[in-house]
Structure 1
Amino acid sequence: MQKIILLVTSLTIPMWFARAQAPTTQHANTRFEQLGPTLPTPNTFRTASGAPGKDYFQNRADYDIKATLDDTNQKLTASETITYHNNSTDALPYLWLQLDQNLFRPDVISRTSQTGGINAERGASLQQLTANTSLAEKDYGQKITSVRDQSGKALKYTINQTMMRIDLPTPVAPGKSVTFSVDWNFKIVDAKSVGARSGFEYFPKDGNYIYEMAQWFPRLCAYNDVNGWQNKQFLGRGEFTLIFGNYKVAITAPNDHVVGATGELQNPAQVLTATQQKRLTEAKNRGDKAGENPILVVTQAEAEAAEKGKATGTKTWVYKADNVRDFAFASSRKFIWDALQPTVEGKRVWAMSLYPKEANPLWGQYSTRLIAHTLRSYSRRTFAYPYPVAYSVHGPVGGMEYPMMSFNGARPEADGTYSEGTKNFLISVVIHEVGHNYFPMIVNSDERQWSWMDEGLNSFLEGLACLEWDANFPAHGIDPQYIVPYMQLDSTQQVPIMSSSDNIPGNTFGPNAYTKPATALNILRETVMGRELFDYAFKEYSRRWAFKSPEPADFFRTLEDASGVDLDWFWKGWFYTVQPVDQSLVKVDWYQANSQNPEITKAEARAAAQRRLNTISKQRDALSKDETVVSQDSTMRDFYNQYDPYAVTDEDRKKYQAYVASLSAEERLLAEAGTNFYTLSLQNKGGLPMPVIIRMEFEDGTDSVARFPAEIWRFNDVSIKKVIATPKKVKQWTLDPFYEIADINTEDNSFPPVARPTRFQLFKQQGRGSSASNPMQQQRQQAPARQGTGRN
């Protein structure tokens, strides 16, 4: 509807403008109040700016470990000497250690199955369900055979499921250290069968194993200013809260195994052949020219020969790693080994992959190059990668991360072909797991409590790195459109992102801990803050908390502190509630300023009158107008039969000139420009306030986008009116035109409403099959002679 507004005085313009923008109901709402009372009170450990305070501390643990891998019985036997440094201001009468392998003990299995099951968020096959049941019948779990002090005297200890408390004869005083040793052994689980984060995979065709060993040694829990001891039980979902230290680890494995581990190999001359050492030197000297492929340190032919030979005897690989929070290793005679040494932020870093022949050709082409790409991409956005190496290992674990070491899935078919989905999974999983070196291996968040602080932040950076790898990569994990189905769920089926890891339902763990926080960060970067402000603030957070242990409040406060943007409303909506984004464009009212120019106003009045008189009766009566009395008898006509009320007179022109003379220059411009004023009636139906982005399509075929910050909802978070002025007439309005705020219902985002067809499928229409999932295989089957086997 067009509404004509008469401009009378200069005072009328701002008053009318204010009335048009006023909310229907004004009331203060808490969505834009500060998070202050919700967040922990700042103190000398963690400041109000989000930075570590002057009294911030973290304890350390240094490890000297000797381990022997029994390839015949799939067993690990080990001993460790630990030096624990108490940097807190508290005397500690006992120490807590994690025994993660106890997750597979019968009593712990019973407890985890009662509280949701092992790795329930990943799903479970019949094989896994059967395997989990049979675990209780096997003698799994860490067998502690000795706990002694530095002098060799036995220490009292208590095992509570996946935790062990060591009682000290004398508390460790602030600033002091204590040294003790632990001996243990355990049977290694079949990782693929039970869906474990580490273990072995058996290859029946050649009778060999791949071992991916993690969570394998008793390791210190974290003690900090927030929780004291973080000794929550390991239930399989909430991952690991750990502290930094220096590691020296000697791994004794079969003589023909290739072993990769956290840290740098200390004795290459004792465990590598002269040829392998020469190849490593060649990889180091080659550099990182664009498109350079890695050097094969162990070729596929050599790995296949080792599979068949199965040499006897053992050798010991010694690795050293400084300032890491954990240690993992992989071992197998099946391993092909390739290496590249790219430059990352001015420093040469080893990128290495270990994988069996079953992973080729996919892994040989992509894995190590993906490592190099990930290190470069993440380092630009956070800090320079500080470690000397990063591994990607293919085996039974689909995706898991440790310092300098990642276990990754994605295996091609037996004929060497693979689907696009398999390729894309490899790209994303390698980037994701190698990216975990930054979060949480260096920015050392509490994974047992807050999965989103490492998974969400890492998934966000993964999405950016995937797009830097391939602009057409389906980076759905950060695309707002793809979180919509989750946010459309009933509120009873969701929990806030700010939920403890073990309290998130298994079927929503992925969206809650990974994609929702990753999407939220992408929206912050693209829509709320802008790339420049966000990138600076995110890098500042990464820099502040590198090699330290941040909490959620430290992240929230740092991003605001470094950007100067108030984001409390955003943290509240996205992280503390399950409300969705659902904006609606209810209607648009169109206003025009009346210029009072008689040439315009009378022409408009004439046209309006003609439209009103153009009824069906008038159209039919016009056919007989010459038969009327007035038409046939001229004496029945007078002045008004000749009068044109819409003709412009000299008096009209004089009045208009006087009116224009009374206006200010600003008012005169507004009156003469013919500006269109549109009042948009908007509703926030979902509850979560977000910026309003509106696209205007004009009658002349051009368009424009107007953006309003989320604070537009500050005084009324339910419904508002917003005035937009434009010299062009708008024919179509569209909310969120670029799908950037995760609006869960776009059907009411257009005005006038845009009709969309409801799709239906013909009964006899041919359905989609799964045969098209691997076009590479289809083509190879059609032309086997040309394509070959694909193995190399």
Structure 2
Amino acid sequence: MRKTLLPLLTLLITVASYAQQLPTSPNYKANDRFEQLGTVLPTPNSTRAASGAPGREYWQQRADYDIKAELDDENRSIKGTETITFFNNSPDELKYIWMQLDQNLFKKDGIGAMSRTGTINEKGMSTSQLQALNNGRGSSLDADKEYGYKIASVKDKAGKALPFTINNTMMRIDLPAGMKPATSIVFSVEWSYNITEYYGRSGYEYFPKDGNANYFIAHWFPRLAPYDDVNGWNHKQFLGQGEFALIFGNYKVAITVPADHVVAASGECQNYAQVLTAAQKQRLKQAETSKTPVMIVTQAEAEKAEKRENKNPGKKTWIYKADNVRDFAFASSRKFIWDAMQQDVYKSGRKIWCMSVYPKEGNPLWEQYSTRAVAHTLKSYGARTFEYPYPVAISCHSIAGGGMEYPMISFNGGRPEEDGTYSEATKYGMIGVIIHEVGHNFFPMIVNSDERQWAWMDEGLNTFCQYLAEKEWDYNFPTRRGEPNQITDYMSSDKSVLTPIMASAENVIGLGPNAYGKPATALNILRETVMGRELFDHAFKEYATRWRFKSPTPADFFRTMEDASGVDLDWFWKGWFYGTEPVDQDLVSVDWFNIDTQNPEIEKELARKEDARRKTTMSKIQDAKTKGETVVAQDSTMADFYNRYDPFKVTDADRQKYEQYLSTLTESEKDLIRNNTNFYTLSVKNKGGLPMPVIVKMDFEDGTDSVAVFPAEIWRFNDAQINKVIATKKKVVQWTLDPYFQIADIDTENNAFPRVAKPTRFQIFKQQQMRRTPNPMQQEGTGAGKITTPKN
């Protein structure tokens, strides 16, 4: 309803004084929400500066590895020896060191098995549950095998045994002489273990049709745990959900496998001349200058190898070198097809090997998309962080599903049907997982965060970059995470299943939405709505550059983003990262005001229309049919002055009074009158609790529209409800909060004023037998059979 304000001066004073009013809401929490994080963040010091940059005395440990290992294909096991040179760059003397024994997760009496929970219902247990109960570890493990490490020896450089103690997935090695700052120690470990079936991070996939297995070998050797300035020794147990905390070093690894296997690994192979055929070496040379992937090992060669015509192929040793990496992984199989191209993805012109290995079961998707997706990822991520520093990036086709990342190599799912067809979801899912896992080279393989404690620092940041890279791959890419409206279901979940992003990875319920989706969405909102692309991109790049080959904490990220952008974001970190409240803004009401212009031409015409509106009752409408039959209509002598009088007629006296009024106004006040400005007071509630910018779309009566954006600080005096005055020259017929789904509002039904009713759709129910339908490629009959392998 339009309300008239009189006089003009009253309006101006009212609007000005409103801004000075203090909040009166009993639910006022503004000091909590908009005050600085303060002591919530650790105190800056000489190792970690207040700006979020590494301090002048920043230090980190280093460990170099020389590993010799052999893969036993028949018994599905690995044995190896490693010589480790550990550098104590800390200011502390170390009396012992801790090593990670991640394969002990699968020990029958280990912490992983003993902390697993479950239940039985009246329907009983599944086969996998029964098997897990029998062997104590899970359905992917052989009940007749022992899993976890067998540590044969731990010795110092002179060959003398070092005392060690195993605590589940950690091993403490005692140093009799201690280790002073700025010194190093050399020691060796001899070990072996049985390989599990692929469980999402590591293991083997067996193919019953041809009797072969693909091996994806990771967290496979005892590794140094970090010792840092934040936690001392990082020796949290490995429970399977939280990933890894590691330190950088140089690796030399010799991997002995059956001679008919193809190996892909972290780093550069040092002996292709000894392990490849002449034809394969020639193809690799060709790939150095090719703009498209070249087949190094063709599908025909892989299919021949998997037939195992030579029952005793002998052994080959592949030697790899990887410098300044935090880990090392490899894949091995006689089923692998291998393609590669060396691309100059950066302006510097430096070329990087982009490679893929996959069995025939991955085609036609893998030879068409995998290596191209690798190259695209390096280019996209590099543009917003730093140039990829390593010489190679490899995508390996693992069992269908998700993926897992390691330096320079990743294990990725995405498998077509046996006839070579695939759904759109399979195609984009595969490209997405390759982008994600290859992207992990940046976070956390180079920006080396602690995954076991802060999953979001690698998964969330990486998912955000993946979201941007996917859009750069295909404008219509069906992204799964990143858009604000994709996280609203999770944020509206029952509070009992919600944990803050700032929770330990092992304790998070719903790791996917919590550590991947919500932080990725938060960063997208920062970039698009809170900070803007220019400020965000500069700050994000600064963070990545500052912390490449170093180990940041959450505080380092929060502080850098503010330091490099000049935007106070403490309220945002509090709400999105430390809290679980959702966004739910409710446009409760809109009051409409006009200025009383005192102009008789305008005001009397408005009064005439209002008078006519009020007189247009149902009785008047019905009586209009017989108005010619009234007494006055039938007898003109019954009409007098008042039957002819027009109370809304503009007189000379009215005009004279108006001119006198105008003479008292300033030019700006006269402009308000001439423009017939409309004033609207919007009343908005923060029902969800999480303060966010208020974004309002105005649809005008002439068919045009406009959007107003008010920063989150609009809630700083009252975080429960605010009133906002908006002035427009045009009349607004519809108001909408968050019209483009920018702030992850969990309830859009209360975002419109007047309210817009939306129907609930239903279907006519008919009993039907559910059946699986072919994917569109199968229906069209265009995808039958595998793509033929290119001649190169």
Class of the TM-score when normalised by the shorter of the 2 chains: over 0.9
Map of 1:477 onto structure 2 = 481
Map of 1:121 onto structure 2 = none
Q: SS of 2:540's equivalent?
A: helix
Map of 2:380 onto structure 1 = 377
Q: CA deviation at 1:188?
A: 1.0
The residue type equivalent to 1:13 in the other structure is L
The residue type equivalent to 1:6 in the other structure is L
For 1:661-718, what per-residue CA distance to the aligned partner results, in whole angstroms no more than 9, with x for missing partners? 1100000110121111111110110000011111111111111111111111111111
Is 1:305 aligned with 2:304?
yes
For 1:421-445, what per-residue CA distance to the aligned partner results, in whole angstroms no more than 9, with x for missing partners? 1111110110000000000000000
Aligned 8 A contact 2:590 2:682 in 1: yes
Q: Find the aligned partners of 1:20 and 1:434 in 2 and give their Cα distance.
A: 51
Q: Find the aligned partners of 2:288 and 2:239 in 1 and give their Cα distance.
A: 42
Match runs of 1:7-406 below 5 Å = 7-9=7-9, 12-19=11-18, 25=24, 28-108=30-110, 111-116=112-117, 126-127=127-128, 130=131, 132=138, 137-191=144-198, 195-286=199-290, 292-308=291-307, 309-310=309-310, 311-345=312-346, 346=348, 347-396=350-399, 398-406=402-410
The residue type equivalent to 1:77 in the other structure is K
Q: 223-232 or 602-611: which moved more?
A: 602-611
Q: CA deviation at 1:66?
A: 0.4
Aligned 8 A contact 2:8 2:596 in 1: no
Map of 1:644 onto structure 2 = 646
Q: 609-618 or 459-468: which moved more?
A: 609-618
Is 1:722 aligned with 2:749?
no
Q: Find the aligned partners of 2:770 and 2:532 in 1 and give their Cα distance.
A: 41
Aligned 8 A contact 1:579 1:686 in 2: yes
Aligned match of 1:412 in 409, 416, 438? 416
Q: SS of 2:354's equivalent?
A: strand
Q: CA deviation at 1:758?
A: 1.1
Q: Find the aligned partners of 1:533 and 1:705 in 2 and give their Cα distance.
A: 21
Q: CA deviation at 1:765?
A: 8.0
For 1:391-447, what per-residue CA distance to the aligned partner results, in whole angstroms no more than 9, with x for missing partners? 111123741100001001111111111111111111011000000000000000001
Q: SS of 2:331's equivalent?
A: strand
Q: CA deviation at 1:630?
A: 10
Aligned 8 A contact 2:627 2:633 in 1: no
Q: CA deviation at 1:18?
A: 4.1
> 1:128–1:462: structure 2 CA closer, same or farther, 3 Å change rule?
farther
For 1:616-642, what per-residue CA distance to the aligned partner results, in whole angstroms no more than 9, with x for missing partners? 4445566357654797484x7665454
Match runs of 1:425-574 below 5 Å = 425-505=429-509, 508-574=510-576
Q: SS of 2:279's equivalent?
A: helix
Q: Find the aligned partners of 1:116 and 1:565 in 2 and give their Cα distance.
A: 45
Q: 660-669 or 264-273: which moved more?
A: 264-273
The residue type equivalent to 2:147 in the other structure is Y
Aligned 8 A contact 2:363 2:786 in 1: no
The residue type equivalent to 1:778 in the other structure is Q
The residue type equivalent to 1:576 in the other structure is Y
The residue type equivalent to 1:19 in the other structure is Y
Q: 409-418 or 217-226: which moved more?
A: 409-418
Q: SS of 1:277's equivalent?
A: helix
For 1:320-355, what per-residue CA distance to the aligned partner results, in whole angstroms no more than 9, with x for missing partners? 000000000111111111101111222100011111
Aligned 8 A contact 1:696 1:704 in 2: yes
Q: Find the aligned partners of 1:49 and 1:22 in 2 and give their Cα distance.
A: 35
> 1:627–1:731: structure 2 CA closer, same or farther, 3 Å change rule?
closer
For 1:107-147, what per-residue CA distance to the aligned partner results, in whole angstroms no more than 9, with x for missing partners? 116x4452458xxxxxx985487361655652111110010
Q: SS of 1:260's equivalent?
A: strand
Q: 153-162 or 760-769: which moved more?
A: 760-769
Q: 681-690 or 277-286: which moved more?
A: 277-286
Q: 394-403 or 243-252: which moved more?
A: 394-403
The residue type equivalent to 1:425 in the other structure is G
Q: SS of 2:739's equivalent?
A: coil
Aligned 8 A contact 1:282 1:295 in 2: yes
Q: 603-612 or 321-330: which moved more?
A: 603-612
Aligned 8 A contact 1:29 1:716 in 2: no
For 1:234-254, what per-residue CA distance to the aligned partner results, in whole angstroms no more than 9, with x for missing partners? 000110000000000011111
TM-score (normalised: structure 2) = 0.94
The residue type equivalent to 1:5 in the other structure is L
RMSD of equivalent CA atoms = 2.1
The residue type equivalent to 1:318 in the other structure is I
The residue type equivalent to 1:359 in the other structure is G
Q: 365-374 or 612-621: which moved more?
A: 612-621
Aligned 8 A contact 2:257 2:316 in 1: yes
The residue type equivalent to 1:236 in the other structure is G
> 1:765–1:58: structure 2 CA closer, same or farther, 3 Å change rule?
same
Q: Find the aligned partners of 2:358 and 2:318 in 1 and give their Cα distance.
A: 18
Q: CA deviation at 1:8?
A: 4.7
The residue type equivalent to 1:469 in the other structure is W
The residue type equivalent to 2:300 in the other structure is A
Map of 1:4 onto structure 2 = 4
The residue type equivalent to 1:200 in the other structure is Y
The residue type equivalent to 1:107 in the other structure is D
> 1:58–1:168: structure 2 CA closer, same or farther, 3 Å change rule?
same
Identity %: 63
Aligned 8 A contact 2:595 2:676 in 1: yes
Q: How many residues align?
A: 768
TM-score (normalised: structure 1) = 0.94
Q: SS of 2:481's equivalent?
A: helix
Counting helix residues as a fraction of each chain, which structure ranks higher?
1
Match runs of 1:662-701 below 5 Å = 662-701=664-703
For 1:452-504, what per-residue CA distance to the aligned partner results, in whole angstroms no more than 9, with x for missing partners? 00000001101111111111011121011111111110111110000001111
For 1:279-305, what per-residue CA distance to the aligned partner results, in whole angstroms no more than 9, with x for missing partners? 11110022xxxxx32011110111111
Q: Which runs of 5+ in 1 are unaligned?
A: 118-123, 287-291
The residue type equivalent to 1:367 in the other structure is S
Q: CA deviation at 1:260?
A: 1.0
The residue type equivalent to 2:380 in the other structure is S
Q: SS of 1:37's equivalent?
A: helix
